[in-house]
Structure 1
Amino acid sequence: MSLPLFRETVRPEWIDYNGHMSEAYYVLVFGFATDALMERTGLDSAYRKRTGCSLYTVEAHVRYLRDVSEGAQLAVHTRVLGAAGKKARFTHEMYVVEGPRAEPDPVATTELLMLHVDQGAGRAVPFPPEVRERLTALAEEPPGWAGRSIEPVVTTPGAR
């Protein structure tokens, strides 16, 4: 089972004072892509209603690589990197796919650590075997940028 690309168009209300998509909307689009992944892998609203469980994002690392303009046609490629116990790890890569600013390289990426949470109990619980198997069947090698941390800034006394 391969994951389809999630597609979205940059809306006028997503544009900030610099004339580009505001950082919050990159995260919104990535959130929609996560929702699409959940639908595709059976973690949909019926699953949530039946089990009381859902995925919660507990860590995210977003890289904003290029400006995105109003009307840009976006596509998000999702990778499942693994699922075990009560944790899953995904990445999303956002591309501008149509128009004069279409680019072959991603305009933004995110890496996500998710927990499978029993909403009634308010705690993380292991994936049921069939869900874990669906996710692990999709597992791919991580892209080269995944797993990085934010570079520390070293302040030298007297530096400007």
Structure 2
Amino acid sequence: MPALITYRTPVQEDWVDYNGHLRDAFYLLIFSYATDALMERIGLDADSRGQSGNSLFTLEAHINYLHEVKLGTEVWVQTQIIGFDRKRLHVYHSLHREGFDETLAASEQMLLHVDLAGPKSAPFSERSVGLLQGLVDEQQDMPPAEFVGRVMGLNIQS
């Protein structure tokens, strides 16, 4: 399967900082829109959310800022399913641009399927499980996500 592209956008003027680079917060915004698009692919589009009362909440997100991104650059997000269980979804988003082979930024995220009436965690529907498994099967030959499971810290010696 070719990479699953979930979101595409040019970097907008109000997204850049005083250095002419994409601001930190807007990387997360871009990845958030990619998650929204993924939700549509797995049966959690707006209509389904309204009918079922279920959605995804982000439990944890890590972002790696790898290369600068400047105003006007057309970027896209490729999304890979790392894994899922009854209630959780582990995803990897990577940010790319034309003519540059390296990943610009990466975000590893843990998402929770939620019954909004609680709100409380809830199992995925059979339809969502089938759609998720289909994506996992299609992505089985993809190279492993490069920036997954990283831990931030300092090795401070006294």
TM-score, scaled to structure 1? 0.88
Matched, 1:120 2:121: no
- Give the superposition deviation at 1:21: 0.5
Aligned partner of 2:84: which letter? A
Q: For residues 14 and 24 of structure 2, what CA distance do their matches in structure 1 show?
A: 12
Alignment partner of 1:145 out of 140, 147, 158: 147
Contact 2:6-2:35 at 8 Å conserved across structures = no
Matched, 1:135 2:132: yes
Matched, 1:80 2:77: no
TM-score, scaled to structure 2? 0.89
**Structure 2: any 5+ residue segments left out of the alignment?**
none
Pairs within 5 Å for 1:1-160 = 3-97=4-98, 102-139=99-136, 140=139, 142-150=144-152, 152-157=153-158
Contact 1:82-1:136 at 8 Å conserved across structures = no
Q: For residues 155 and 16 of structure 1, what CA distance do their matches in structure 2 show?
A: 32
Contact 2:31-2:93 at 8 Å conserved across structures = yes
- CA distance 1:15–1:153, change in 2 (3 Å): same
- CA distance 1:5–1:48, change in 2 (3 Å): closer
- CA distance 1:138–1:73, change in 2 (3 Å): same
What secondary structure is seen at the aligned counterpart in 2 of 1:115? strand
Regions of 4+ moved over 2 Å: 1-5, 154-157
Q: For residues 76 and 154 of structure 1, what CA distance do their matches in structure 2 show?
A: 33
Q: For residues 24 and 59 of structure 1, what CA distance do their matches in structure 2 show?
A: 15
